[in-house]
């Protein structure tokens, strides 16, 4: 039995936090998965594990788990390998694109030498070998880089290329005054003290082929006077040793699996392939065989051994600690099960639901059985086949909605509708026990990709490629089928997204056919159903594109849509069925003396409205944009180059309404940004001010929550002098602690007074500011 230790992620821009409410406005937070660890490294009192987009740290002194990501200063994503230099106390991070980070003494130093090189082909860093003098050799897909770790200085590069040949180097080792390189075409060596030979790959000497032939040598290591190699040819591998420089002796061969790693400890050696490891003693005798935990599907990635204890990166259990005696432990930082977040959905309790499935561009299955995740007060909970919460045959859970984190519904693109009660799967609605219909051309699939729940507790279910595309599950358990007048051929159309509006309308995006507005009227009476399909026609929709990816209602009741050619808005949607020529409007702005359409060249994948009625647009390739309420002013633009954003490809956006935390699902993982807006209060009940008191070392914004929408806020001294005028974004106002003249305020108690746009619903608060 494997013991699981879960660690909470408590790091944000170097600041340790104790809960969501203390997250500073303007701060970012990573919500990455650390279940799949591809590389491990060991320091004096820490174990490091690399996931694709971050590093997990296990502290041996207090058993705590923390993480490092782009928010904390990593320069890139897609980590390929780690190594550690004890002499300089430096963790070395290698990336798939050749980038390098050096982490020591709470600073991260970027070394972009390989990234900046003009090299045709892959620059991936495969392995890092540290030798005496704090020198590191990087085995890459183009050859070898030699680096001075302390100075962060590239010393030399050796390219494994000729006119006919280009080799990838899997690992580099020093042995008997020579540099050995394990490549995808055998092992090569060159004398360490001869720079002319090192610089010319044609002069490197190739060692005799391994007994299995001209193999892909994945790993080499010196061990007690012999050279040990692990290699594979096709899907058959093995491990061999060479003592005389000429002949190979077999340790184990005919392994019908992919060989991965060798790691030499103090008089002990670890041989590793995906489903097994051998722990050998100093004489290369077998001490024990090690297998992945049997509770869940798993295999090893890369492992290290020290004092008999193996620390292994795994595909499903994080870092696995495997001592010679005692319990095996799986060390996993808290986070979602994977980095896939297809659709995000929150509720009024500031709980987040994430569907990890997805659909292809032509609306077929991705066959992702990653389940779903929920997020409550800083903690992720995973519903996944490895936890036995969901059967592993249920694929592509796309969207999840619920009034709380234990009672919710999940829509699967192919396997129907799942109902959870008290955190347990209670019911699976399919064709045999509900009105849900199978996809007409695939009689075994029930595509229920998208969900919404109205204020009466009715669950609206999109049921794609069927005769009746919209179903409603009522709180009493009864179902309704809804006729969609004017929709056209339903059997060839997918419901790809929809939203319920405050006026009771449903706006549906539908597989490249524009957007469909629907009013069910009396749910029990189909006779009053109204619907209208809107497209690019100037007289019926005027959309910039029929490819509509998202739709959202703002606080004025206007409908904003994200299309393949930028955003557009339907003003006065209440009259959408009565108008002769309903038209979406694109927004024009003046920039650098030129009038242009807002984001007309961007594909808008996600639209979100914050508490101040400002518009957030997530794009396919340009990150996240923030615009003013009327979209005539660009307030911010977040990209990978100017923020901690991990990817410019945005999948979805979703606010936690009360905290104002914006969750951003990207192609690389989920992150969040604490914004300066929160859902407006319609019945105010006091202000929340934080931090309070403001201490001398604090240099962020003071956050004040609890206002009515768009309140006028005044900051005064205790004797009534006006210090600062502010305006709230929804329920939130922020103060930079300067007065109206831009001068920093001094020590003292300051009063906060707010009133809504009618001069009513006045709120009072106070804050203590302490200066040195």
Summarised one tens digit per residue, pLDDT across range 273-329 is 888 999 999 999 999 999 988 767 788 999 999 999 999 999 999 999 999 988 899
Average pLDDT on 220-247 reads 92
Task: Report whether pLDDT(474) > 90.
Answer: yes
pLDDT value of residue 368: 87
pLDDT band at 684 (very low <50, low <70, confident <90, very high): low
Q: Lowest mean pLDDT of 427-441, 618-632, 684-698, name the range.
A: 684-698
Average pLDDT on 81-106 reads 96
Measured CA distances, 677 to 479, 555, 614 (Å): 38, 13, 9
Bridge partners (DSSP) listed for residue 441: none
Q: Lowest mean pLDDT of 82-96, 224-238, 655-669, name the range.
A: 224-238
Average pLDDT on 165-183 reads 94
Q: Lowest mean pLDDT of 122-131, 205-214, 556-565, name the range.
A: 205-214
pLDDT band at 20 (very low <50, low <70, confident <90, very high): very low
pLDDT band at 19 (very low <50, low <70, confident <90, very high): very low
Dump pLDDT digits (tens) for 354-373.
Answer: 999 988 888 888 888 889 99
Residue in 550, 646, 667, 648 with CA at minimum distance from that of residue 607: 550
Q: If you ran DSSP here, which 8-state letter would residue 319 be given?
A: E
pLDDT value of residue 491: 67
Q: Lowest mean pLDDT of 361-365, 465-469, 723-727, 737-741, name the range.
A: 361-365
pLDDT value of residue 269: 95
Return d(Cα 333, Cα 27) in angstroms, integer: 20
The alpha carbon of residue 15 and the mean position of all alpha carbons in its chain are separated, in whole angstroms, by 20
pLDDT value of residue 5: 45
pLDDT value of residue 683: 65
pLDDT band at 590 (very low <50, low <70, confident <90, very high): confident
Work out whether strand 397-404 and strand 424-429 pair parallel, antiparallel, or are unpaired. unpaired
The more confident residue out of 639 and 294 is 639
pTM value > 0.85: yes
Task: Report whether pLDDT(493) > 60.
Answer: yes
Q: Lowest mean pLDDT of 113-122, 573-582, 681-690, name the range.
A: 681-690
Q: Lowest mean pLDDT of 412-421, 629-638, 683-692, name the range.
A: 683-692
Average pLDDT on 616-620 reads 98
pLDDT value of residue 761: 57
The more confident residue out of 255 and 124 is 124
pLDDT value of residue 511: 76
The more confident residue out of 182 and 20 is 182
Strands (E), 51-185: 55-59, 65-68, 79-85, 90-95, 100-104, 107-111, 125-131, 135-140, 143-148, 153-159, 169-175, 178-183
Task: Report whether pLDDT(428) > 60.
Answer: yes
**Residue 195 backbone class (left: φ over 0; alpha: ψ -120 to 50; beta: rest):** alpha
pLDDT band at 15 (very low <50, low <70, confident <90, very high): very low
pLDDT band at 214 (very low <50, low <70, confident <90, very high): confident
Measured CA distances, 660 to 215, 244, 354, 614, 627 (Å): 55, 67, 18, 12, 16
**Residue 243 backbone class (left: φ over 0; alpha: ψ -120 to 50; beta: rest):** alpha
The more confident residue out of 461 and 486 is 461
Average pLDDT on 215-224 reads 95
Q: What is the full DSSP assignment across 551-608?
A: EEE-TTS-EEEEETTEEEEESSGGGTTT-SS-B-BPPEEEETTEEEETTTTS-EEEEE
Q: Lowest mean pLDDT of 33-47, 389-403, 613-627, name the range.
A: 389-403
pLDDT band at 7 (very low <50, low <70, confident <90, very high): very low
pLDDT value of residue 9: 28
pLDDT band at 483 (very low <50, low <70, confident <90, very high): confident
Q: What is the mean pLDDT of the chain?
A: 91
pLDDT value of residue 486: 84
Task: Report whether pLDDT(225) > 70.
Answer: yes
Q: Lowest mean pLDDT of 534-543, 572-581, 675-684, name the range.
A: 675-684
Dump pLDDT digits (tens) for 325-344.
Answer: 888 999 999 999 999 999 99
Q: How many CA atoms lie within 13 Å of 497's alpha carbon, on the beta-carbon side?
A: 25
**Run of H or E residues at 114:** helix 113-116
pLDDT value of residue 16: 28
Cα dihedral 163, 169, 175, 177 sign = positive
pLDDT value of residue 271: 94
Task: Report whether pLDDT(12) > 60.
Answer: no
Work out whether strand 479-482 and strand 178-183 pair parallel, antiparallel, or are unpaired. unpaired
Task: Report whether pLDDT(18) > 70.
Answer: no
């Amino acid at each position: 039995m494997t013991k699981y230790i879960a660690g909470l992620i408590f790091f944000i821009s170097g600041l340790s936090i104790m809960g969501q409410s203390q997250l500073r406005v303007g701060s970012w937070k990573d919500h990455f998965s650390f279940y799949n660890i591809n590389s491990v490294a060991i320091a004096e009192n820490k174990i490091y594990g690399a996931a694709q987009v971050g590093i997990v740290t296990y502290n041996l002194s207090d058993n705590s788990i923390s993480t490092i990501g782009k928010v904390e200063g990593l320069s890139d994503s897609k980590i390929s390998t780690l190594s550690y230099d004890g002499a300089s106390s430096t963790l070395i991070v290698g990336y798939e694109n050749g980038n390098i980070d050096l982490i020591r003494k709470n600073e991260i130093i970027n070394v972009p030498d390989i990234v900046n090189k003009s090299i045709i082909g892959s620059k991936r860093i495969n392995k890092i070998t540290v030798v005496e003098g704090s020198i590191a050799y990087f085995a890459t897909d183009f050859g070898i880089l030699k680096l001075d770790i302390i100075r962060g200085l590239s010393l030399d590069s050796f390219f494994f290329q000729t006119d006919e040949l280009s080799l990838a180097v899997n690992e580099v080792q020093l042995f008997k005054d020579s540099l050995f390189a394990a490549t995808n075409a055998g092992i090569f060596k060159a004398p360490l003290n001869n720079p002319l030979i090192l610089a010319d790959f044609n002069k490197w000497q190739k060692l005799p082929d391994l007994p299995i032939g001209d193999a892909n040598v994945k790993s080499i290591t010196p061990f007690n006077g012999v050279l040990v190699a692990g290699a594979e040819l096709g899907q058959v591998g093995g491990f061999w040793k060479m003592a005389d420089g000429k002949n190979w002796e077999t340790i184990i061969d005919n392994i019908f699996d992919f060989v991965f790693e060798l790691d030499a400890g103090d008089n002990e050696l670890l041989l590793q392939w995906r489903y097994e490891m051998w722990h050998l003693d100093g004489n290369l005798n077998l001490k024990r065989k090690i297998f992945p935990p049997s509770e869940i599907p798993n295999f090893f990635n890369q492992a290290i051994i020290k004092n008999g204890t193996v620390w292994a990166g795994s595909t499903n259990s994080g870092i696995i600690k495997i001592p010679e005696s005692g319990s095996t432990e799986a060390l996993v930082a808290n986070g979602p099960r994977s980095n896939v977040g297809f659709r995000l959905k929150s509720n009024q309790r500031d709980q987040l639901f994430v569907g990890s499935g997805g659909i292809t561009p032509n609306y077929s299955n991705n066959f992702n059985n990653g389940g779903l995740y929920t997020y409550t007060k800083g903690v992720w909970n995973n519903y996944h086949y490895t936890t036995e919460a969901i059967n592993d045959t249920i694929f592509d859970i796309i969207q999840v909605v619920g009034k709380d984190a234990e009672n919710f519904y999940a829509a699967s693109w192919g396997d129907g509708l799942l109902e959870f009660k008290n955190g347990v799967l209670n019911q699976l609605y399919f064709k045999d026990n509900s009105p849900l219909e199978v996809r007409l051309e695939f009689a075994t699939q029930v595509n229920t990709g998208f969900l919404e729940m109205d204020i009466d507790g009715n669950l609206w279910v999109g049921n794609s490629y069927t005769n009746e595309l919209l179903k409603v599950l009522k709180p009493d358990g009864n179902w309704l089928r809804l006729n969609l007048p004017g929709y056209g051929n339903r059997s060839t159309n997918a419901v790809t997204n929809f939203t319920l509006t405050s006026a009771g309308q449903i706006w549906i995006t539908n597989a490249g056919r524009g957007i469909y507005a629907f009013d069910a009227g009396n749910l029990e009476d189909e006779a009053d159903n109204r619907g209208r399909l809107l497209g690019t026609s100037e007289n019926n929709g005027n959309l910039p594109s029929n490819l509509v990816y998202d739709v959202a209602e703002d606080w004025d009741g206007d409908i904003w849509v994200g299309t393949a050619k930028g955003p557009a808005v339907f003003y006065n949607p209440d009259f959408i069925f009565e108008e002769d020529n309903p038209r979406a409007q694109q927004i024009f702005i003046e920039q650098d003396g030129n009038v242009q359409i807002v984001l007309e060249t961007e594909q808008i994948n996600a639209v979100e409205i914050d508490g101040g009625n400002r518009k957030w647009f997530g794009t396919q390739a340009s990150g996240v944009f923030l615009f003013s309420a009327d979209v005539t002013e660009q307030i911010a633009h977040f990209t990978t180059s100017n923020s901690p954003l991990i990817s410019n490809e945005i999948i979805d956006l979703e606010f936690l309404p009360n905290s104002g935390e914006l969750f951003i699902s990207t192609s690389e993982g989920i992150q969040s940004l604490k914004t300066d807006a929160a859902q407006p209060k319609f019945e105010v009940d006091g202000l929340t001010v934080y931090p309070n008191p403001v201490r001398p070392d604090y240099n962020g914004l003071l956050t004040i929550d609890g206002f009515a929408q768009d309140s006028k806020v005044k900051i005064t001294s205790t004797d009534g002098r006006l210090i600062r005028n502010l305006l709230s974004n929804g329920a939130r106002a922020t103060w930079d602690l300067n007065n109206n003249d831009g001068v920093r305020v001094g020590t003292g108690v300051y009063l906060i007074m707010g009133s809504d746009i009618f001069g009513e619903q006045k709120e009072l608060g106070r804050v203590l500011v302490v200066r040195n």
